[in-house]
A and B are shown apart, each in its own frame.
Chain A
Amino acid sequence: MKLYTILRNKWNVLLLACMALVVTTGCNDWLAVAPDNQINEEDMFKDGNGYRNTLNGIYIKLAGTSLYGRETSWGLVDVIGQMYNSKNWKSTATYFKAANYQWDDASVKTMISNIWGTAYNDIANCNNLINHVSVEDSLRFQSHTLEKNMIWGEALALRAFIHFDLMRLFAPSMAEDDKKAHLPYVDVYPSIATTYGTNTDFLKKVERDLTEARTLLATCDTTASHKVWMTTNCRMLAQGTTAEIPEDVFLAYRGFRMNYYAVTALLARVYLWQGDYEQAGKMAKEVIDATYDDSPLFDFAGSTDLAFNLKDYNSILFSLSSQTLTETYQSFISSDSDSPLVLDATTVFEDSKEDVRGTDMLGSLGGRKYSLKNTIAKSSIGSDMIPMIRLSEMYYIMAEYYANKQDWNNAANMLQTVRSARGVLQQTLTITSKEQFNTELLKEVHKEFVSEGQLYFYYKRLNIKPATKALFVFDKPENEDI
């Protein structure tokens, strides 16, 4: 009854009515709160910074341990490419099972599902970024058209890059192509169902995206005013005079992003996978011949410097970056590890005293050798680099281009160029047949791409088994099913 008496007072009624009015009208804003580190899509792409963040996010995910931070570079992919000597590994170790191609083992299965899941999630991120950037007004970006093209081009290139590597893992090589559809090329967001494509259809889409990306990125990385950003100091270290390096960190470090030359080199890799030696050679040559100020844009570090420049960042066309790389790798080169990543150094480097890669670039673990590449002390130059595409690969592609024409001399020369850069000057190569060429090529690839996840794909493409029971196609992962 007390409240009823309050109601009878006119003033109180008025006051209550006012309160109700204030509360209901101001409510929508009052309810619009969200945790600090979550932003909805509309707010995200309201200004250019959101575009930058989303693009960076895609690179960060790529550098995670499920993908190039471990499994698809020096981890699983090198393990199944028989990069390492797995004889003394514990039989319970996941890498031991993987080295023996036990795809149905639960822990190997999880690893494979994670690669698939993380990669496609990153592709979804690419797709949504492309949705937005392709229709955005270039004035929204701080560096206008340059930045718009850069973000757009890189997103397209990343989409193709990730898809292509998934295909190299989950579909048979062109030599073993069964014309079946093995995985989907996803270029829409959002999607709740995906359509699988055959190798040929899939590669067409990879090529389409890369070609488009290349056109867009040409406006950022090859123009007279910006080409300087591609030089080693700018590209890898963001060092140089104020006139040379961009003020904005987002525009710097082109070597850590999908730049024009990275895309060109990737196209060379894709054409080679298809067996299109002409196009592959053409693309590789463009990268090798690229110059700035009359000197080559990409070159090898001097062989005597390799002991300090373990990643040879001078010759990296595209690298990812992870601050935790050294730490992650450390546990695999310790005596406690159940699968220490040791190499058959004497066999791999053919007992060469000259090859710096077989001497200065190796460490010792209880008499066994391991690669020092990922052991650079944290925050020293190169410690975070995960090389994705190197200049040496372009020479190997040129070598295959010549070998395809049975021009053994030039093919040998191309291989020798990389060998010389690594200190192998005395022992030269003479090649006389395709079989011999392939053997020599595989040897070179094994030496050059230690812990970089390329060897397996060379074996697969050439259809040469690295081990008798080697398998070249992953099973369709469990998370793809219901």
Chain B
Amino acid sequence: MNNVVSGQLDVSEDNSVSWDATATLSYNRSMGLHNINLLAGMNATSGNGTAFGITYRGFPSGNLSAPGYAQSVYGNPSNSDSKSRLFGVLGTLNYSYNNIYLLDASVRIDGNSEFGFDHRYAPFYSGGVGLNLHNYEFFKALTTWVSLMKLRATYGMTGKVDFSPYEAQTIYQVLNNEWYKTGVGSTIMALGNPKLGWEKTYDFDIGVDADFFKGLIQLNASYYRKRTVALVNTVTLPASTGFTSYKDNIGEVFNTGFELQIRSTLLNTKDWLVSVYANMAHNKNRITKISDSMKEYNRRVQEKYKDYSVLNRGNSDLAQTYLQYVEGGSLTSIFGVKSLGINPVDGKEIFVRPDGSITYDWNATDQVVIGNEEPKVQGSFGVNVRWKQFTLYSSFLYECGGQRYNSTLISKVENAHVQGENVDRRVLTGRWQHIGDRTPFGALQTKLVATTRPTSRFVQNYNVLSMNSLTLGYDVNSVWLKRIHMGMLRIELSGNDLFRASTVRAERGLDYPYSRSFTAAVKMSF
């Protein structure tokens, strides 16, 4: 009885029309040492898209497969539709005097149909000043070895909207695929948050760009302070609210940091090219204000650990750390209860409560910031060498000053299930067994293994150095190539992640084997 009706034909059609109109007006003028550059413009774009699909089933034969031969239309035709419009006006001003004093200013107003009605327009602005020290006559006279020395400072505000209209207001979606007995239906698309506003970032940046000895040492350095207000984030919700997440302005975040870049070409001759580079960045992230929805989220995080009953004690989910949002904390904080380690007397862990008292009991409300995943400094460095036709590129990555929560240590050693699975040696050697044992892990548990909840005992400093890539290449002599009518022939050997050293010993095992890749390539062109 199978295949009584055979054959299926899917027909789909997509249409989209979009246009983009831009009008700009610019004005450039040099008057003596003054140089003015003005620009005003507007921009409008519109996009309309429709898609339509239909499925036919049951055809007499492969040849007779036009929709007209179909026995029936299968399911409902699908139809989708999208519309968006954007409109913006902008103005910029650049001014310089004698190529020494620089001034920039810009304003931009954007309107977008995808934003809620109350937030349809967003203004952005920025302004900056600069000073080309090297163009001063006295500076030129003073130093011959400085070819560039520019000081700059900028301040600006940018806005960001990364949410959909239905996330900012209650929007109903028509359920056009299935009608009820008593008519067409519609349903709420998402928990719209009418209070949702633009995420705004105020950015202040000062820096210096310099070049010494005509390219021998190039240097860029900058320092920034960035304040993000009304940070937009997805907040998870208990499903009993009807939804699993919604968008909210979760508070204010302050980022400060610096960036430093140095490049140097040490040798540049016919046969040799040797250059080195290094950069370094530091960022500190601090939450300065949190919304009520985040306080509610924090409460739910603490609730998560509540059930430590005999039945639930073995639940390995309890070992997981969760970020909590606290003023003064960071978006990369690690939360847990401060620990003094394992008591040599009885093998139990001693916790420190926020008020300084000590206890054996782990309390969700005693959780504090016990680490931060954000490194103090991070960056990369490398050497590039060319000798005749041989080239060698290398790059290294480093970061230090951050922490990690070593949950593998908990699941594989601290909470190892000795009866049920294979365990490693530390389960035997690192555990408290007798009075006076000073050990990193508590006494061995058998039968029901109570999960170790987040504790500072498993926070480890995370410093890493890795060789990101190494490439060795050889270019075949072009004179020789010409004879066989080839443009280029290059042989390349490269490897990724060849070397890695870290202060956190990560057990990757068979689950996440460390991947080291090697590539050999021959590139040619004619």
A250 with B183: CB separation less than 8 A? yes
> 12 interchain pairs (CB within 8 A)?
A31-B85, A34-B165, A35-B81, A38-B166, A57-B175, A60-B175, A183-B240, A190-B170, A190-B241, A191-B241, A191-B242, A482-B297
Q: A20-B42, A44-B186 are in contact. Are A1 and B172 (CB under 8 A)?
A: no
Q: Once the chains are docked, how many angstroms separate the CA of A461 from the CA of B261?
A: 73
Chain B, Cβ-Cβ closest to A194 = B240
Q: Is B171 an interface residue (CB 8 A)?
A: yes
B42 with A3: CB separation less than 8 A? no
- Picked from A3, A36, A61, A193, the residue with its CB within 8 Å of the CB of B25 is A3
Partner-contacting stretch, out of B140-148, B231-239, B445-453, B457-465: B231-239
Give the bracket for the number of chain A residues in contact with chain B: 35 or more
Min CB distance A182 to B, Å, is 11
A interface residues, Cβ below 8 angstroms from B: 1, 3-4, 7, 16, 20, 23-24, 27-28, 30-41, 44, 50, 52-61, 63, 113, 116-117, 120-125, 127-128, 183-184, 186, 189-194, 249-250, 252-253, 256-257, 321-324, 384, 477, 479-482
B239 with A31: CB separation less than 8 A? no
A3 with B26: CB separation less than 8 A? yes
B180 with A44: CB separation less than 8 A? no
Instruction: List the B side residues contacting A40 at CB < 8 Å.
Output: 165, 169-172
Q: Is B189 an interface residue (CB 8 A)?
A: yes
- Picked from B84, B242, B301, the residue with its CB within 8 Å of the CB of A123 is B242
B interface residues, Cβ below 8 angstroms from A: 25-29, 42, 44, 80-85, 87, 89, 111-113, 117, 120, 165-166, 169-176, 178-189, 191-193, 235-244, 246, 293, 296-297, 300-301, 304, 322
- Picked from A39, A120, A193, A194, the residue with its CB within 8 Å of the CB of B186 is A39
Q: A20-B42, A35-B83, A38-B173 are in contact. Are A482 and B183 (CB under 8 A)?
A: no
Additional A-B contacts beyond A39-B186, A482-B300 (17; CB < 8 A): A4-B27, A16-B25, A20-B89, A27-B87, A31-B120, A34-B171, A38-B173, A39-B171, A57-B185, A116-B239, A121-B242, A128-B188, A191-B242, A194-B241, A256-B180, A480-B239, A481-B238
Instruction: List the B side residues contacting A55 at CB < 8 Å.
Output: 185
* Most interface-central of A20, A34, A194 (chain B CB within 10 A): A34
A-B contact count (CB 8 A): 201
Q: Once the chains are docked, how many angstroms separate the CA of A76 from the CA of B441?
A: 44
B185 with A479: CB separation less than 8 A? no
Q: Once the chains are docked, how many angstroms separate the CA of A53 from the CA of B178?
A: 12
Q: Once the chains are docked, how many angstroms separate the CA of A34 from the CA of B179?
A: 22
A253 with B181: CB separation less than 8 A? yes
B172 with A41: CB separation less than 8 A? yes
A480 with B238: CB separation less than 8 A? yes
Chain B, Cβ-Cβ closest to A31 = B113
The 3 A-B residue pairs whose C-beta atoms are closest, nearest first, are A124-B242, A57-B185, A56-B185
Instruction: List the B side residues contacting A7 at CB < 8 Å.
Output: 25, 27
Q: Once the chains are docked, how many angstroms separate the CA of A23 from the CA of B197?
A: 25
Instruction: List the B side residues contacting A36 at CB < 8 Å.
Output: 81
Instruction: List the A side residues contacting B84 at CB < 8 Å.
Output: 33
Q: Once the chains are docked, how many angstroms separate the CA of A23 from the CA of B43?
A: 10
Min CB distance A425 to B, Å, is 35
Chain B, Cβ-Cβ closest to A57 = B185
Q: Once the chains are docked, how many angstroms separate the CA of A44 from the CA of B188?
A: 11
Q: A1-B28, A41-B171, A482-B300 are in contact. Are A57 and B238 (CB under 8 A)?
A: no
Q: A41-B169, A128-B170, A480-B238 are in contact. Are A117 and B244 (CB under 8 A)?
A: yes
Q: Once the chains are docked, how many angstroms separate the CA of A74 from the CA of B87?
A: 53
Q: Once the chains are docked, how many angstroms separate the CA of A35 from the CA of B50?
A: 10
B120 with A28: CB separation less than 8 A? yes
Min CB distance A413 to B, Å, is 35
Instruction: List the B side residues contacting A252 at CB < 8 Å.
Output: 182
Q: Once the chains are docked, how many angstroms separate the CA of A324 from the CA of B120?
A: 41
- Picked from A53, A384, A481, the residue with its CB within 8 Å of the CB of B174 is A53
* Most interface-central of B42, B166, B172, B181 (chain A CB within 10 A): B181
Chain B, Cβ-Cβ closest to A183 = B240
A192 with B241: CB separation less than 8 A? yes
- Picked from A38, A50, A257, the residue with its CB within 8 Å of the CB of B171 is A38
A33 with B244: CB separation less than 8 A? no
B241 with A60: CB separation less than 8 A? no
Q: Once the chains are docked, how many angstroms separate the CA of A58 from the CA of B25?
A: 54
Q: Once the chains are docked, how many angstroms separate the CA of A324 from the CA of B76?
A: 11
Instruction: List the B side residues contacting A54 at CB < 8 Å.
Output: 172, 185-187
Instruction: List the A side residues contacting B301 at CB < 8 Å.
Output: 482
Instruction: List the B side residues contacting A192 at CB < 8 Å.
Output: 191, 235, 237, 241, 246, 293, 296
Min CB distance A119 to B, Å, is 9
Q: Once the chains are docked, how many angstroms separate the CA of A56 from the CA of B186?
A: 7
Chain A, Cβ-Cβ closest to B87 = A27
Chain B, Cβ-Cβ closest to A114 = B239
Q: A184-B240, A186-B241, A194-B240 are in contact. Are A39 and B172 (CB under 8 A)?
A: yes
A120 with B240: CB separation less than 8 A? yes
Min CB distance A33 to B, Å, is 5
